[in-house]
Amino acid sequence: MSRNDETMMFRVEQEERREVATVLAEVHKALAEKGYNPINQIVGYILSGDPAYITSHQDARSKIRKFERDELIEELVKSYLEKEELVDN
């Protein structure tokens, strides 16, 4: 059987998770640099959907808006549960 006949598995999830995590870290840093409480601001954005909670410094606002809010919540919950060893990776 040639390689072209085999079914290939394509997984975006891990790459997307890394991208969401990276953007959250960048947004956190940008908010801190501007003197905001990053956690409060990110939570405000996630709960309300109002991008005004996120600074435009370091392009943070446009970066975080690349993702739906439910994607951000999903990454945060997964990361927390994995860190606490409550679920498998």
Q: What pLDDT, in 10s, does the model give residues 23-60? A: 999 999 999 999 999 999 999 999 999 999 999 999 99
Q: Output the pTM of the full model.
A: 0.78
- The reply to whether 76 falls in a domain is yes
CA-closest candidate to residue 42, choices 19, 65, 58: 65
Residue 31: the pLDDT is 98
Give the E-state strand segments of 1-89 in sequence order: none
Instruction: Evaluate whether residue 1 is within a structural domain.
Output: no
Helix (H, G, I), strand (E, B) or coil at 67: coil
Q: Whole domain around residue 55: which residue ranges?
A: 12-83
pLDDT at position 87, please? Answer: 67
How many Cβ atoms are within 10 Å of 31's Cβ, its own excluded? 23
DSSP label at residue 65: T
In a domain, 63, yes or no: yes
Q: With the C-alpha atoms ordered 51, 52, 54, 57, is the resulting torsion angle positive or negative? A: positive
Assigned domain for 4 exists = no
Residue 89 lies in a domain: no
Q: How many domains does the chain have?
A: 1
pLDDT tens per residue across span 2-32: 567 788 765 556 777 889 999 999 999 999 9
In a domain, 79, yes or no: yes
